[in-house]
Amino acid sequence: MTTIDWQKEVDSRKSDLMEDLKTLIRIDSVKDMENATEEFPVGKGPAMALHKALEFGERDGFVTKNIENMAGHIEYGEGDETFGILGHVDVVPVGDGWNTDPFEPTIIDGKLYARGSSDDKGPMMAAYYALKIIKELELPVSKKVRFIIGTDEESGWACMDRYMANETMPDFGFSPDAMFPIINGEKGIASYTLEFNNDASEGDVTLNTFTAGIASNMVPGDATVEMTTGLNTDEMKAALESYVAENGVRADFTANGETVTIKLYGKQCHAQTPTDGVNAATHLANFLSAYKFDGQGQAYIQATAKFLHADPQGNLTGVAHKDDIMGELTSSANIFRYTKEGDKTISINIRYPKGTDSAKIAEQMQAVIVDAKVIVEAGVKEPHYTSKEDPMVKTFLETYEKYTGLEGFEQTIGGGTYGRLFERGCAFGALFPGRENVMHQANEYMVEEDIYRAAVIYADSIYQLIK
């Protein structure tokens, strides 16, 4: 039996892989529902990125299919079983703080900087090239392989709803959209909207607007409030300066007559690990909680400060829960929309292990936050777990160990990957241990060499599972 030098095969295709990846990254594929149409259900950008990925597949001789500009697949081989690979071409909004153009891939000190470089265009293209190598080597396979591409992974998964309504899912598979050595457990994911009532009573300060957050799965990196007050604004500014100094955040303060505007800056991060960031919105509310607002503003500010600030496990809202295998629940308030005459809402993203459920969490929260109505948002994802004894999981871990010399072990995350869509599914790479996790952050990057390392591991392990 011929031994395949997977490292050599990847090395000979490095420049092609990088060129294709850069081409894909240059497409701004942020979900754009404001400009969505029947032709482009989640916006033109994600659809154009899907077209480009499928174009790669057609160029390389695969069978491809586009499902209504929402999802698509690239197929190879034949067999009674189908092995699946699930990636996505959509990316989270850019946000502030970039040092380079987020859609012009730039390599600095061996790091590829761009939105989507690590989540998920870089890992997805590493997995695609792994399959491309297997095809080009004309290796015998006993299973069909279906590489599925989504356009709405970052918010809602409508792409996979559409895909599964039209196509049969593979029997087992993985998503290259997390970290090594493996993710075989994923917490449940649910978002909750708090709707606050109108209250005309007055206070020392009138809350006009309070806004923060750009996505339900991102801790807000900045928050802005506009308010009207007859209080001494110099004293308020001094109090803010003391607060930011004590709490390691920063803020801008502007007073124009009785109108005061404050913008507070924290640190944006992925909601699955809220402690990696600094929630600007809850910090701003915590500072403002020292003042007496008008009735509706008071309820909004106090609820945020009392129940949502500095509480990543949900103890203050009564939803805390822990499972021995899957770990602790996490809670993060990520979208704040308040206008004096309009909506007054907060969206809370919760990642929960087995042993609780979305309805129970809503009941627990409602019992505590009495000034708002708690609504479970659509798109709840239940916890998912594939045993570490599963042959696929074993193959992935053994291959990982072979190329890294590191011990493979099972992990559960709070993030949601497409791996949970397979009955036997997991996420496998491509963030290596010891690397900084900058997914969903400004200046997102992936170490260039890690893209190629991942492609080697993917090629070897995929072939073992389909040969």
From 20, 28, 90, 119, the catalytic residue:
90
Provide the mean pLDDT of the chain.
96
Q: Where are the beta strands (DSSP E) in 342-401?
A: 344-352, 372-376, 384-385
Q: Indicate if 32 belongs to the active site.
A: no
Query: What is the Cα Rg of the chain in Å?
Result: 24
In the chain, what are the domains? 6-186+383-466 (3.40.630.10), 189-376 (3.30.70.360)
Q: Is 7 exposed, middle or buried (0-12, 13-18, 19+ CB in 10 A)?
A: middle
pLDDT along the chain (467 residues), means of 10: 89 98 98 95 97 98 98 97 98 95 98 98 98 97 98 92 96 96 95 94 96 94 98 98 98 98 96 95 98 97 98 98 94 98 97 95 98 95 92 98 97 87 95 95 97 98 97
Contact assessment for residue 181 and residue 397, using Cβ atoms and an 8 Å cutoff: yes
pLDDT of residue 325: 87
pLDDT reported for residue 200? 83
Residue 153 CB contacts under 8 Å (≥ 6 apart), including other chains: 88, 90, 120, 159, 160, 177, 418
Residue 113's closest CA among 441, 391, 459, 393?
441
Q: Given 9, 20, 152, 153, which residue is catalytic?
A: 153
End-to-end Cα separation, the chain, in angstroms: 12
Token pair 């803010």 is found at 240
Given a contact cutoff of 8 angstroms between Cβ atoms, the answer to whether 183 and 412 are in contact is: yes
Catalytic (active site) residue 153:
yes
Comparing CA positions, the residue from 26, 56, 31 lying closest to residue 127 is: 56
Share of the chain above pLDDT 70, in %: 100
pLDDT of residue 415: 75
pLDDT at 76: 97
Query: What is residue 1's predicted lDDT score, i.e. its pLDDT?
Result: 53
- 32 secondary structure, DSSP code: -
Whether the bond into 274 is cis, omega within 30 of 0: no
Q: By the 8 A CB rule, do 435 and 450 touch?
A: yes
For residue 2, the model assigns a pLDDT of: 67
pTM (2 d.p.): 0.73
Q: Which pLDDT tens digit goes with each residue over 389-434?
A: 999 999 999 999 999 999 999 999 887 789 999 999 999 999 999 9
- pLDDT at position 175: 97
For residue 156, what pLDDT is reported? 80
